[in-house]
Amino acid sequence: MRKWYDEEDGLKRKFMETFSGIHASEELKAYTLSQMHGGAESKTLKQENGLMSLRKRLCFLLPAVTLLSVVLIMGLWVRQSGTPYITDMEQDEFYEEVLLKNGKIRFVANRVAISITPNLGGITIGETPDENVHEVMEEKETDSGGKLVCRRGASIVLPDLGEKDWSYIEEQEIYVTVLNAEEIRYQAVFEKDGQVYELIGTNVTQREFIDYLYQVIK
């Protein structure tokens, strides 16, 4: 069956039907004419209504984008210098690049938050010589040539701590400190099942120490 568009007359008729319904509105004509008489400063309706051309839009957008970028960079910088450093312990990507800043390092990973508070004073296990008796659970050398020791004792004496000084691995509360002495010494103390555990990492890297801590607690 032949369709209207197969015949010249059909096409012509359809064009007539379609386009006879399309007109420039009187408002558009009047506005255009008024602008034409306005000369070089004429604006289209869109411009008049504040809708900008792409070029103009870019002129407005560029400073905004620049400003946002600066804010973002500043935000990242502030975050790096003071706020928790988010990482994922199980994915092996963290700590080495984090520097001691303002006396504290804080790692927050999947349910793991490690605050290392340097120079707050040592942690002692037990107050009296009797209580100070401890059992060495494990002692090993690390790849970097440092030494890791895990000891178990009966009680713990800690410096005066605020909530922010505590670290957590899941529900386990831990106190971690670093002594910036000639030999860098990390210490972590935690209480579990009525026992106090102390981990000491001497001349180890942060990563080796926290990996070990994580492994012991888990």
Q: Give the residue from 139, 123, 142 showing the smallest Cα distance to 211.
A: 142
Complex with another protein: residue 35 or 195, whichever CB lies closer: 35
Complex with another protein: residue 3 or 92, whichever CB lies closer: 3
Closest distance of CB 39 from another protein, Å: 7
Complex with another protein: residue 24 or 99, whichever CB lies closer: 24
Q: Alpha-carbon distance 103 to 183, whole Å?
A: 17
Residues 188, 129: contact at Cβ < 8 Å? no
Q: Which residues contact 98 (CB under 8 A, 6 or more apart)?
A: 85, 105, 107, 206
First and final CA of the chain: distance in angstroms?
79
Residues interacting with another protein, by CB under 8 A? 3-6, 11-12, 14-16, 18-19, 21-24, 28-29, 31-33, 35-37, 39-40, 42, 44-46, 54
Closest distance of CB 43 from another protein, Å: 8
Complex with another protein: residue 26 or 130, whichever CB lies closer: 26
Question: Which alpha helices (H) appear in 154-196, and where do they start and end?
Answer: none
Closest distance of CB 24 from another protein, Å: 4
From the CB of residue 52, how many other CB atoms can be counted at a distance below 10 Å?
14
Closest distance of CB 48 from another protein, Å: 10
